[in-house]
Amino acid sequence: MRTLPKAGLLSGMKFNSIIFKAIEMNAVELKSILIHRITEIDDVSFLEAIRTILDSKSNKQRISLTAEQQADIQESRKQIAQGLFVGQEELDTEIGKWLCVKSDSFS
Protein backbone atom coordinates (compact mmCIF):
# COMPACT_ATOMS: atom_id res chain seq x y z
CA MET A 1 0.00 0.00 0.00
CA ARG A 2 1.08 3.58 -0.73
CA THR A 3 0.19 6.72 1.15
CA LEU A 4 -0.47 9.98 -0.67
CA PRO A 5 1.56 13.04 0.32
CA LYS A 6 0.29 15.21 3.19
CA ALA A 7 -0.94 18.02 0.89
CA GLY A 8 -4.13 17.83 -1.14
CA LEU A 9 -7.67 16.55 -0.90
CA LEU A 10 -6.68 12.89 -0.62
CA SER A 11 -3.75 13.39 1.74
CA GLY A 12 -2.95 10.48 4.01
CA MET A 13 -5.33 8.05 2.26
CA LYS A 14 -3.99 4.61 1.39
CA PHE A 15 -4.39 3.11 -2.07
CA ASN A 16 -3.10 -0.15 -3.45
CA SER A 17 -0.61 -0.15 -6.32
CA ILE A 18 -3.24 -1.26 -8.88
CA ILE A 19 -5.09 2.03 -8.47
CA PHE A 20 -1.85 3.98 -8.78
CA LYS A 21 -1.03 2.14 -12.00
CA ALA A 22 -4.48 3.03 -13.37
CA ILE A 23 -3.91 6.69 -12.52
CA GLU A 24 -0.44 6.67 -14.08
CA MET A 25 -1.40 4.97 -17.39
CA ASN A 26 -1.55 7.03 -20.54
CA ALA A 27 -4.56 7.54 -22.83
CA VAL A 28 -3.57 4.79 -25.29
CA GLU A 29 -3.30 2.18 -22.54
CA LEU A 30 -6.57 3.25 -20.97
CA LYS A 31 -8.39 3.14 -24.33
CA SER A 32 -7.10 -0.38 -24.90
CA ILE A 33 -8.34 -1.54 -21.49
CA LEU A 34 -11.73 0.10 -22.00
CA ILE A 35 -12.16 -1.45 -25.46
CA HIS A 36 -11.37 -4.87 -24.04
CA ARG A 37 -13.79 -4.40 -21.12
CA ILE A 38 -16.58 -3.14 -23.40
CA THR A 39 -16.27 -6.21 -25.65
CA GLU A 40 -17.09 -8.34 -22.61
CA ILE A 41 -20.43 -6.54 -21.97
CA ASP A 42 -23.65 -8.00 -23.42
CA ASP A 43 -26.17 -5.70 -21.68
CA VAL A 44 -27.61 -3.58 -24.52
CA SER A 45 -29.00 -0.84 -22.26
CA PHE A 46 -25.63 -0.51 -20.52
CA LEU A 47 -23.84 -0.31 -23.88
CA GLU A 48 -26.32 2.37 -25.01
CA ALA A 49 -25.52 4.33 -21.84
CA ILE A 50 -21.81 4.08 -22.67
CA ARG A 51 -22.56 5.32 -26.20
CA THR A 52 -24.43 8.30 -24.78
CA ILE A 53 -21.46 9.19 -22.59
CA LEU A 54 -19.04 8.79 -25.49
CA ASP A 55 -21.27 10.84 -27.82
CA SER A 56 -21.26 13.70 -25.32
CA LYS A 57 -17.44 13.81 -25.32
CA SER A 58 -16.75 12.99 -28.96
CA ASN A 59 -14.73 15.48 -31.01
CA LYS A 60 -16.76 14.56 -34.08
CA GLN A 61 -20.33 15.06 -33.00
CA ARG A 62 -22.91 14.67 -35.73
CA ILE A 63 -26.06 16.75 -35.77
CA SER A 64 -29.24 15.07 -36.96
CA LEU A 65 -31.57 17.33 -38.89
CA THR A 66 -35.25 16.77 -39.51
CA ALA A 67 -36.54 16.64 -43.08
CA GLU A 68 -38.04 20.11 -42.57
CA GLN A 69 -34.70 21.54 -41.40
CA GLN A 70 -32.91 19.99 -44.38
CA ALA A 71 -35.52 21.48 -46.74
CA ASP A 72 -35.07 24.91 -45.09
CA ILE A 73 -31.31 24.72 -45.63
CA GLN A 74 -31.77 23.75 -49.28
CA GLU A 75 -34.21 26.64 -49.79
CA SER A 76 -31.77 29.07 -48.15
CA ARG A 77 -28.96 27.88 -50.41
CA LYS A 78 -31.14 28.49 -53.47
CA GLN A 79 -31.96 32.00 -52.25
CA ILE A 80 -28.27 32.76 -51.70
CA ALA A 81 -27.42 31.47 -55.19
CA GLN A 82 -30.10 33.83 -56.59
CA GLY A 83 -28.67 36.77 -54.65
CA LEU A 84 -31.74 37.00 -52.41
CA PHE A 85 -29.93 37.96 -49.22
CA VAL A 86 -28.73 41.00 -47.29
CA GLY A 87 -25.06 41.39 -46.44
CA GLN A 88 -23.91 42.00 -42.85
CA GLU A 89 -22.85 45.62 -43.47
CA GLU A 90 -26.16 46.50 -45.11
CA LEU A 91 -28.03 44.80 -42.29
CA ASP A 92 -26.02 46.68 -39.65
CA THR A 93 -26.83 49.97 -41.42
CA GLU A 94 -30.55 49.16 -41.55
CA ILE A 95 -30.61 48.15 -37.87
CA GLY A 96 -28.73 51.34 -36.94
CA LYS A 97 -31.32 53.45 -38.78
CA TRP A 98 -34.15 51.54 -37.15
CA LEU A 99 -32.65 52.00 -33.68
CA CYS A 100 -32.21 55.76 -34.25
CA VAL A 101 -35.83 56.13 -35.37
CA LYS A 102 -37.12 54.05 -32.44
CA SER A 103 -35.03 55.93 -29.86
CA ASP A 104 -36.20 59.31 -31.27
CA SER A 105 -39.84 58.28 -30.93
CA PHE A 106 -39.33 57.51 -27.21
CA SER A 107 -37.84 60.95 -26.48
Average model confidence (pLDDT) for the chain?
A: 79
Pick the more confident residue, 102 or 52.
52
What proportion of the chain, given as a percentage, has pLDDT over 90? 46
**Is the per-residue pLDDT at 26 higher than 80?**
yes
Q: Which residues contact 6 (CB under 8 A, 6 or more apart)?
A: 12
**Is the per-residue pLDDT at 74 higher than 80?**
yes
Question: How far is CA 36 from each of CA 32, 33, 40, rounded to the nearest angstrom?
Answer: 6, 5, 7
pTM of the model: 0.36
Average pLDDT over residues 63-82: 93
Residue type, 38: I
**Is the per-residue pLDDT at 65 higher than 60?**
yes
